[in-house]
Amino acid sequence: MENRLKELRAERGWSQADLAEKLDVSRQTVNSLERGKYDPSLPLAFRIAGVFALPIEQIFSPGEGANS
C-alpha cells in the first residue's frame, strides 16, 4: 500500500515524533508507515485520517501490483 503520510506531515511542519504523539504510536511506527514497511490497522488508518481531516482514500492507495 502506498501513502502520502510524509508529504502530508511535511505540509503541516510536523516531525515524525509530532505525528506519532498525535496518533499515540511510536516514532518508529510513523517511520515504518512512511517507508511502506508497515500497513496500518484499520483503526490506525481511521486515526490517521482524523488527524489530517482527510478521507482515508486521499491518504492511502493500493500499491503497484495490488489486486483491485
Q: Is residue 62 part of a domain?
A: no
Amino acid at 17: A
The C-alpha cell 496518533 sits at 23
Write out the three cell numbers for 65: 501490483
pLDDT at 66: 52
- pLDDT tops 90 at residue 45: yes
- pLDDT tops 60 at residue 67: no
The domain that holds 40 is classified in CATH as 1.10.260.40
Q: What's the whole-number mean pLDDT along residues 7-11?
A: 98
Q: Is residue 18 part of a domain?
A: yes
CB-based contact 68:61 (threshold 8 Å): no
Q: List the domain range (segments joined by +) for residue 18.
A: 2-53
Q: Is residue 39 part of a domain?
A: yes
Q: Is residue 24 part of a domain?
A: yes
List phi, psi (to 5°) of 63.
Answer: -80, 175
- Number of domains the chain is built from: 1
Q: Is residue 66 part of a domain?
A: no
> Residue 63 — very low, low, confident or very high, per pLDDT cuts 50/70/90?
confident
Q: Is residue 23 part of a domain?
A: yes
Q: Is residue 63 part of a domain?
A: no
pTM: 0.88
